[in-house]
Copies of this chain bind each other. A is one copy, B any other.
Amino acid sequence: MPSDRTRALILDAAERLYAERGFGDVTLRDIVAAAGVNLAAVNYHFGSKDELIAELFVTRGIANNRERLTELKAAEVAGGGRADVKAILHALIGPTLRGCLGPENERSTASRFMIRASIESVPPIRRIKNREVDHLRKFAVAMRRALPDCDEADIYWGLHFALAMAHQTTRDAERLTKLSDGQCDVDDVEAVIDRIVDAAAMTLTVRTTASKSPEGAAPARRAERLRG
């Protein structure tokens, strides 16, 4: 009859503190204080600090991946087995962005924790992170179906850029707001998502006409089809 209460309290407090202040600034004593439990409880229930972090990461990672895949499947069903480019990108970056931007009270600690985890590469997480590639491959497969004539490398670059823009927007939202004097509204989450999706979709579907380096340093995209 294990008492999961303390365990859950620790997980909640740890996730919240890590999401807010990052891994470097949060000690076990901070966590147990926030959770209202004894210091030794962490080692009793999780074995070590690293195992606590790892458990948080795998749990949240699985949930996040599932959310993305659910949206991808839905898009594939809606498209009769083949999702279109924008829908795929939307499924890839939507879930995370929705949890990280927008009004403070609507953000999820889960998403913010995952962003932290992908920023500060702390050892226990680094060891697990390899599985992410397998997850992304599913989106590459879907994208290849949506753009059968597109160069394969370009597809990977497109996914990479979509993730890059999404990721950096959650990181540097403040800088962007300051730089633009508030003209860039990062609180309108769906608009931000659409903007990033549009940008990434363009890199995948628009043929570059005037290349700066004519000797082919940047290979021309070979996509003809845009079904958004």
Contacts and interface: CB of A to CB of B under 8 A. Distances in A.
Copies per complex of this chain: 2
Interface stretch (A2-10, A36-44, A65-73, A188-196): A188-196
A210 B184 contact: no
B169 A168 contact: no
Interface string A131-153: 01100110010000000000011
Given A22-B121, A198-B218, A169 B176 contact: no
Contact of A167 (B168, B188, B213, B226): B168
A165 B185 CA distance: 20
Interface in A209-223: 210-213, 217-218
Given A133-B175, A167-B168, A179-B136, A184 B211 contact: no
B194 A211 contact: yes
A179 B140 contact: yes
A223 B156 CA distance: 28
A176 B210 CA distance: 26
Interface in A100-157: 119-122, 132-133, 136-137, 140, 152-153, 156-157
A152 B179 CA distance: 11
B197 A152 contact: no
Contacts of A24: 24, 120, 122
Contacts of A152: 180, 183
Q: Top 6 nearest A-B pairs by Cβ distance? A: A164-B168, A194-B218, A156-B180, A153-B183, A191-B217, A199-B203
